[in-house]
Amino acid sequence: VVVKKGWDPLRDTYSAFGGTESKEKYPFDMEDTMANLEARNSLEELLTQHNITRFWTVGLALDFCVGGTLLDALGRNNDTQRPRPPTVGNAILIQPCTRAVSPSTTGKAYLEKIRKAGGIITDKITPESAIKDVCSRTCSFEE
């Protein structure tokens, strides 16, 4: 799923939760019109429709878009006041696949905000190892 944000100057653009679903195959295609994007599902609606319980986050920049998106997924973004999507149980940051604009200042502060908000931060880089790490901390398996 490609979610486009930043296409409407009146909406918050520091979070993917301020965007809507694109019908394009790649994030930088320019064929979506504002009217088409406006009529499409939001990220929260997509998560709810597909019963997504774990929200995985990576990208640039931790101290802006990535951090804002993760805090919105947790319902703890003071800037947007968006509620937590009803199906999301865990919001996870894959730290090795994420970079901050200012790692030692605002990036470090966002990591602390995410931890305090209940986000899970993994230091694993491959999808398989990140899933194993997070599941070992959040899943219970009965035999």
Q: What is the pLDDT of residue 143?
A: 47
Rounded to the nearest 10 degrees, how much is the dihedral formed by the CA atoms of 47, 50, 55, 59? -70
Length of the chain: 143
Residue 4, Ramachandran bin (φ over 0: left; ψ between -120 and 50: alpha; else beta): beta
CB 38 within 8 Å of CB 118: no
Q: What is the pLDDT of residue 141?
A: 61
Q: How far apart, in whole angstroms, are the C-alpha atoms of residue 20 and residue 27?
A: 12
Q: What is the pLDDT of residue 73?
A: 97
Per-residue confidence of the chain (143 residues) as pLDDT tens digits?
A: 788 888 888 876 789 998 888 887 666 667 788 888 888 899 999 999 999 999 999 999 999 999 999 999 999 999 899 999 999 999 999 999 999 999 999 999 999 999 999 999 999 998 899 999 999 999 876 54
Q: What is the pLDDT of residue 109?
A: 95
Cis peptide leading into 61, omega within 30 of 0? Answer: yes
Q: What is the pLDDT of residue 127?
A: 87
Q: How far apart, in whole angstroms, are the C-alpha atoms of residue 125 and residue 86?
A: 28
